[in-house]
Structure formats: structure tokens, C-alpha cells
Amino acid sequence: MRAGVLSFVCLLVLSVIGLTGQDVQSQEESKAVPAVTEAHTAAFAKVQTITVAVAETYDKKGEDFEVGVSEALSELLVALGRQRVRGGEADAELLVVVSAEPTWQEYEGGGKRITLYSGGEAQADVTFTINGCEPLQAAFRAVKPPPTLGDPASPRTARGSPAWHLARRCALVGSLRLLVQLDTQRCCALLEHGNPELRMCAAKALVDVGPLAVPSLTTALGDENAGVRERAAYALGAIGAEAKSAVPALAEALKDGQARVRRRAADALRAVADGSAPAAVEPEWDEEPPELFPERKAGPRLRAPERSGPRTSQSPHQPPPEVADAVPALIDALKDEDAQVRWRAAEALGAIRQASVPALMTALKAEQAEVRWRAADALGMMGSAAKDAVPSLVEALHDESWLVRERAAHALGEIGPEAEAAVPALVEARSGDQHFAVCSAAGHSVTKIQSESKKATPEPPTRRPTTRRRSGPRRPPMGPPMPIPRPYPRRR
């Protein structure tokens, strides 16, 4: 009885925790952009005046964030050819509710307590109502984590702090997510606006438009601002295979002077090749280039840790033939000085599949060991599509670098039954290599290849043995069963 009561209590607690987790997760997710009808588009074409109402729900610590958000929205409406009305009747109403949480650190210096704003998060919930139409709603949230070490270049006032900029940009992106559905042409023209902040927000919002925004985003890859180029590359990757016309520009972006632009370009090429969304996180809003905010010095930035261990990526999507033109640029990106660019380029090559196999076979003989093992890693991500590279991978099992040998052994296992000819070399590496990681990878690959080979070749059906009939008279049927004798009773 006690055990039953305890189990019931545990189930009740777990259910409450699960419901709470779902509520938290739903609060953090952004609202999806609603479907804009033809009535909304026709009514917006006649809109000339718009009223803007900004509500703030956050601790502004004595500063007024509403002014910055209001200024940004006014500039957006002017760029779209609309007039903001501060009182009276208007054709439409834009309501923006901004919630932000600035992060600050306090220091003692010269007998005074100094407050530095180093991070924060913000979210904007936007409601756009056109007279005679149903209201449209959207939301956008952005986070800037504070640095591990204090940055003395952080601003000392809330105005101009990261949370202040996040509030402005969340309001802009949230509004643009609705406006791009109503007037795509004018929003694409924002990528040529003089304000870099508007260009960055427009690039982020144009993801919802899809293929219609590809030409404008491709042109934005040549923008003078690094933040705009980065977000344009990310937007093209989010559009996916439908952005295949931007492959030449993305390949050229792999030579950009900013490492963060090169990372997004490699991610976009992988997304175009395998038809999926970018694997990496969205660009952080704290990476403003120096020319955008010259009064702020660039502080120490944390780099994301490099991915460890071999990876596999076998998508059923067939890459478009246009991505083959980016293979030489991706091979050169394997030698990039930035570690994140290198592994993202390897993932992109793995997603391109057969078109990049000859170039990767050549890269297995490069001078740099890192280029060799990344090429082997990319071949492993292709699976059976890299069967032509089996001899080159077998040769790589004798490389002087243990990491190249380990990735080559893993790649042969990922190729599967097509690499059955490499089993003797893998068995030799399993027992004869001096590094434990190589022996382990070779052993796993041998087991995987042999098990998959058995599944690929079905066993012939077993036939029941036929009994030969005896000649002569048939055996008489057996009689009733013999009675089981009872045991003798024990003597007392």
C-alpha cells in the first residue's frame, strides 16, 4: 500500500514538472507570423498614416528605453514611405510591447561604484492593425550573454547598452516580420538603406519571404558592413535549397575578411546542399562592427568550442548541381585560420556528396594534417556516396597523424558494405595501430561493415528435410501409454 502511494505521488510530481517545462518552453518560443490575406495586402497599399504606441515592461534602471524604440520605428516607417501620426485618426496602428532585462556589473574604482552594462535580453510583441482588417501579430526575441570577464569598454548608462540596442532591434525585426508580408518590394529595398541597423534587421526579417528575397540578399553579401553580410548569409541558408542561385556569391563570401561572415557562408552552402536549416545558432546581436558604433571599443569575445568527434550527415535530399561550383572554395576553407570555418566547410563538403568526392580524395594527400582529417571526416558524412574514395581512405589508415587514421577508419565504417574491401586493412589497424582511438574506430567499423553486409545479403530459405517412406507393411499404431509406477512408501 505504501509503495503504491509513493509511486502515485512520484507520477503526480513528474506530471507537474512536465507541464511546467512545457509552459516555459512555449513562453520562450517566438510567435509564428500569421498568414496575410489579400485583404490585408490591398488595405496596406492604401495606408498612408500610422500611429505607433510603445509599451515597456522592464527594469530600465532610471533610463527611458522607450525613446530609442520609438525613434527606430519612426525611421522604419519613413523608409517604407509611410507617415507616423502622433495624435488623431490614422489608417493603421502599430502597437509594440517591449520587455528587456539588462545585465550590469558593479565595480569599485577611485572610491566610487561604477555600473557597467555588458549584456541583456529583450523581446518585442508586435500587433499591427489596419482599419477594417483583422489584427496581425508577431514577436521576436534576442539575447546577448554577458562576457565571462568584465569589459571596461562597456557603456556606463542604460542608453546605448546592449539591452537598449536589443530592444530597438527586436521592435524593428518584429515589425518587419509583418511588413515584409504586406509589401515585400519595399522591405527588400531596405537592404540598400543608409542605416546599417535597418539593413541588418531587414535581412533577418526577409527569411520569412523565402525565394522572393534571394536576389536582394545575394546583393547584400557585398555590403560594406560585416553585420549585414553575416545576416544576409544566414538568411540565405535559412531559405535552403531555393537559394541555389546565390551559391557563387556564397563561395566568394568564404574569402571574406571577417571570420563570422565566412562561418555563415559555409553554413549557408551546407543548408543549400542538403535542404535543411542552418545547424549553427543565429548571429548574435553583440557582434556590431567597429564602424557601426565607433564610441565602443571591441572587448574580449568568447569563441564557441570546436566540435569534437566524427559526424555523420546522410540526408535523403539530393543537392542541386549548382553547389558543385563551391567545392574549390570549400576545399580552400579547410585551411582557414578560424577553427569554426574549417569544420563548417567540412560539413558543407559532406552535404554536397558525389560532386566533392574527387576534390576530397585530393585533399587526403594535403600537407596539413588538419586538412587531411577533415577531408576524411567529410567523406564519412557522405555515407555510401563516397564509395569511390575507399582506396584513398585505406591508404590514409597508414598516415603519420593518428587523427587522420582515426577519421579514415570511421569514414570507412560509415560507407558501409560498399567498403567491404577495406575490412582486412581495418582488422590490421585494429590490432596493430599504436593509438587506442584508431584501434577502437577500426574495430567499430569492422563490426558495422560486417553486420550491414549480412543484412544486405538475405539468407536462402531453409527447406524442411523430406522423410523417406519405408517399403513394406506399415507399423501398427502404438497402444495406450504405460502406467507410471508409484514410488514405494517410506518406512517409518
pLDDT band with cut points at 50, 70 and 90 for residue 216? very high
Residue 219: is its pLDDT beyond 90? Answer: yes
State the pLDDT at residue 5: 43
143 forms bridges with which residues in the sheet? 121
pLDDT band with cut points at 50, 70 and 90 for residue 313? very low
Backbone angles phi, psi at 366, to 5 degrees: -70, 165
pLDDT tens for residues 153-179?
Answer: 555 566 667 777 788 888 898 889 888
CB count within 10 Å of CB 252 equals 14
State the pLDDT at residue 410: 92
Q: Which three cell numbers stand for residue 323?
A: 553547389
Domains and CATH numbers, the chain: 44-182 (3.40.50), 379-456 (1.25.10.10)
State the pLDDT at residue 221: 92
State the pLDDT at residue 396: 92
Q: What average pLDDT does this structure show over 463-474?
A: 58
Residue 388: is its pLDDT beyond 70? Answer: yes
How far apart CA 91 and CA 41 sit, in angstroms, is 13
Residue 207: is its pLDDT beyond 70? Answer: yes
What DSSP string runs through 351-411?
A: HHGGGGHHHHHHHTT-SSHHHHHHHHHHHHHHGGGGGGGHHHHHHHTT-SSHHHHHHHHHH
How far apart CA 185 and CA 216 sit, in angstroms, is 10
pLDDT tens for residues 175-196?
Answer: 898 888 888 888 899 999 888 8
pLDDT tens for residues 5-29?
Answer: 445 444 443 443 343 333 322 223 3
What DSSP string runs through 297-360?
A: -----PPPPPP-S------SSPPPGGGGGGHHHHHHHTT-SSHHHHHHHHHHHHHHGGGGHHHH
Residue 271: is its pLDDT beyond 80? Answer: yes
Q: Which three cell numbers stand for residue 210?
A: 523565402
Q: What average pLDDT does this structure show over 306-327?
A: 63
Of the listed ranges 243-252, 307-316, 356-365, 475-484, the one predicted with least confidence: 307-316
DSSP character at residue 418: G
pLDDT band with cut points at 50, 70 and 90 for residue 490? low
Interacting residues of 259 by C-beta distance below 8 A, sequence separation 6+? 336, 337, 338, 340, 341
State the pLDDT at residue 17: 37
Q: How far is CA 263 from CA 7, 238, 258, 301, 352, in A?
A: 50, 14, 9, 16, 17
- The rounded percent of the chain whose pLDDT value lies above 90 is 15
Q: What average pLDDT does this structure show over 344-360?
A: 83
CA-atom Rg of the chain in angstroms: 32
Query: Residue 50 in contact with residue 94, Cβ under 8 Å?
Result: yes
Query: Residue 274 in contact with residue 284, Cβ under 8 Å?
Result: no
Residue 421: is its pLDDT beyond 80? Answer: yes
pLDDT tens for residues 403-418?
Answer: 999 999 999 998 988 8
Q: What SS3 state is found at 114?
A: strand
Query: Residue 141 in contact with residue 166, Cβ under 8 Å?
Result: no
H-run or E-run covering 97: strand 92-109
Nearest Cα to 195, choosing from 281, 306, 71? 71
pLDDT band with cut points at 50, 70 and 90 for residue 291? very low
How far apart CA 46 and CA 318 sit, in angstroms, is 44
Residue 149: is its pLDDT beyond 70? Answer: no
How far apart CA 268 and CA 213 sit, in angstroms, is 15
Query: Residue 236 in contact with residue 245, Cβ under 8 Å?
Result: no
DSSP character at residue 206: G
> What is the average pLDDT score of the chain?
76
pLDDT tens for residues 30-89?
Answer: 455 567 888 888 888 888 999 888 887 765 554 566 777 888 888 999 998 888 888 778
Backbone angles phi, psi at 32, to 5 degrees: -70, 150
Regarding beta strands 49-56 and 83-84, do their DSSP bridges make them parallel or antiparallel, or are they unpaired?
parallel
Helix orientation angle between 38-45 and 162-182, rounded to the nearest 10 degrees: 100
